[in-house]
Amino acid sequence: MCRASLDGIRQFDNSGQIAPLDLHHEEVRAQFPELKQENLLEELHAVDESGRVFRGARAINEILRRQRGLKGYLAYLWYVPGYAWLADRQYKRIAASRYARDARGRLKARPTAER
């Protein structure tokens, strides 16, 4: 997860229960040896207090579920028929393009071939 995303989660969290970790640090990865670096680079992962691992859109839902107020109510959208499928597809579409975007979500200029 990029540092900009970590900062965004810290600002979004109103529960005090979310502890975003930068898994580029070896000592942090040692806490979660079952999580593979290549998988972490593909999708957001959330680990709850009992050790269950949630990935992608489901991880975002778990983060929402722990929020107070309106943010927490957004997690209930998961139970609307078709929403989980749609959220997963949208998450994968955004995740596939994240390396092509800067921290503000703007498309980066494509590198040009050297002549």
> Per-residue confidence of the chain (115 residues) as pLDDT tens digits?
456 677 777 888 888 788 777 777 888 788 888 888 778 778 888 888 888 899 889 988 988 888 888 888 888 999 999 999 999 999 888 877 766 666 666 666 544 433 3
Range of the structural domain that residue 68 is part of? 3-100
* 76 is a domain residue: yes
Model pTM score: 0.71
| φ, ψ at 109 (rounded to 5°) | -65, 135
* 106 is a domain residue: no
* 111 is a domain residue: no
* 95 is a domain residue: yes
What is residue 100's DSSP assignment? G
Burial 41-58 (b: 16+ CB within 10 A, else e): eebbbbbeeeeeebbbbb
| Structure confidence at residue 86 (pLDDT) | 94
* 107 is a domain residue: no
HSE-CB for 88 with a 13 A CA cutoff? 8
Please state the domain count of the chain.
Answer: 1
> Closest Cα partner for 77 from 89, 55, 61?
61
* 114 is a domain residue: no
* 25 is a domain residue: yes
